[in-house]
Amino acid sequence: MADFFKVLSEVSRLQIVCCLKTGAKNVTQIIEATGLGQANVSKHLKMLAQAGIVTRRQQGVNVYYEIANPFLFELCELVCDSLSVQINQQNQQFEKLRVLQEAF
C-alpha cells in the first residue's frame, strides 16, 4: 500500500493520472495535455504501469495508456474532500486567532 501511495505522491504523475480521467491517450496527447516533456512523461508512465495504476495497449504504431482501475478517482476525491475539511478547519482557527490578536 505504501508503494502505491508513493507512486501517487509525485505531482507530474498526478497530472498524468488526471489527464487520463477522460480516457485512454497516447504519449503525444499526454504531453500536450500536461505540458511535461517527452522523457519525463515516459518515465512517469513506466512507473505508473509498474505500480498497476495504468495499463498500456498497442494500437498500430501508437501506445495508449489508460487508468487500470477507475476506483482511483474515487480515492482521489475522498482525499481531496478530507484535505478541504482540514483546510477549512485551519482557516477557522486562523480567523479566531486574528480576532484575538485584534482585541489586544
What φ, ψ does residue 67 adopt, rounded to 5°?
-70, 130
Distance (Å, rounded) from C-alpha 23 to C-alpha 76? 17
pLDDT at 40: 96
64 beta partners:
26, 57
**What integer pLDDT is reported at residue 70 of this predicted model?**
86
Inter-residue contact 70 to 53 (CB < 8 Å): no
| pTM, entire model | 0.79
State the first-to-last Cα distance of the chain, in angstroms, to the nearest integer: 49
40: amino acid identity, one letter: N
pLDDT classification of 63: cutoffs 50, 70, 90:
very high
Q: What is the pLDDT of residue 4?
A: 87
| Residue 53 pLDDT exceeds 90 | yes
Residue indicated by cell numbers 505522491:
9
* Mean per-residue pLDDT, 38-66: 95
